[in-house]
Amino acid sequence: MSRIRRSGEEGVTAVIVVLMMVVLIGAGAIAVDVGQIYAERGQLQNAADAGALAVADSCAKAPSCDPSLATPLANGNSLDGESTVSSVDTTSVAGQVTVTTTTKNAADHGPWLSKLFASALGNAPAVNVGATATVKLKYPTKGVTVLPLTFAPCEFQDDGLPHLIQVQSGTLKCTGLNPSNQVIPGGFGWLNPDSSTGCVVTAEVGQWSLTSAGGAVPNGCIDLFDPTKNPPLAGSTIALPVYKYTCAGMAGFSCTGSGVEYFIEKWAGFKIEAWNLTGQAKYDPLNKITSGKGIYGTFVGYAADPALFTNESSTPNGTVVVLGLIK
């Protein structure tokens, strides 16, 4: 016996199928669009982070910040190379840089995403996507000095010009006085490594650092100054401590020979261009150091590697900063 189909049932089934297809297509479109929005926001966040770090780095190196650096860095960190830097704020909060980025539509450069699947289902509105990044400039207090030395306060001249700074066992061009009215030698002094092996030297603002006596490079540190073993040093900018005074004449210190200590005041950025120290610890292609032992370079503003430092302060001090993304 053949079954007779009812046309009414077929019609209802067709309507249900069509409705379900619309629902499924709509759900799929929304899922795709949400994924696109999240992906766009991730790109914009990378763009804002890069722009804020670039502007903050310029704040560390010059008397004033350069907001124009944000746009090329933001675009370079977007997968499509397109973003809009809608604002760069360097003044609202001291020591902070905030960059806000928004979408740039490829068709008309407007601040919205228009190629959304949901728009095929009706008049879905364009979506505005944005991101914000804030970088805080922090001043390091405790960290590892790249080279085992500390500068005298009278040698710290942040004038943008190169200077010859000689080791304290030689002839010095400047001196000062400590709280005991004792002479503070100019030049630079060697710092004692943290252990008997290697050349890790930790210094901290407001604390005493022990000297490595004598005019020679401390044991275990000679390779740092050998241009054949450490070629990146020449022309590089590094963070080095500047002391405030020595312990000469102060109660509780022997302060002679290996007992000399330096009271660290701040960290300074130093672009090292030449040096003439001990044996193979020499690099002076332009003959900047014609007599004695010393190093030649320029004090500069510098954003240092955060991995070198464990403590920072928000109080401006020295010419070294550590950049940190806080949001």
Compute CA distances 189 → 182, 218, 304, whole Å. 17, 11, 22
How far apart CA 217 and CA 261 sit, in angstroms, is 17
119 in the same domain as 63: yes
Q: Which of 98, 128, 158 is the last residue of a domain?
A: 128
How far apart CA 129 and CA 40 sit, in angstroms, is 7
158 in the same domain as 123: no
SS3 108: coil
Give 208's strand partners.
263
- Six-digit token string for 253: 């210190």
pLDDT band of 296, cuts 50, 70, 90: very high
145 in the same domain as 241: yes
Per residue in 220-239, pLDDT tens?
A: 899 999 999 999 999 999 99
146 in the same domain as 117: no
285 in the same domain as 182: yes
281 in the same domain as 197: yes
- pTM here is 0.80
185 in the same domain as 123: no
Domain that holds residue 238: 141-325
Maximum CA extent, the chain = 121
Domain count, the chain: 2
Per residue in 128-151, pLDDT tens?
A: 778 899 999 999 999 999 999 999
**DSSP letters for 170-214:** S--S-EEE-TTSPEEE-SEEEB--SSSSS--EEEETTSEEEB--S
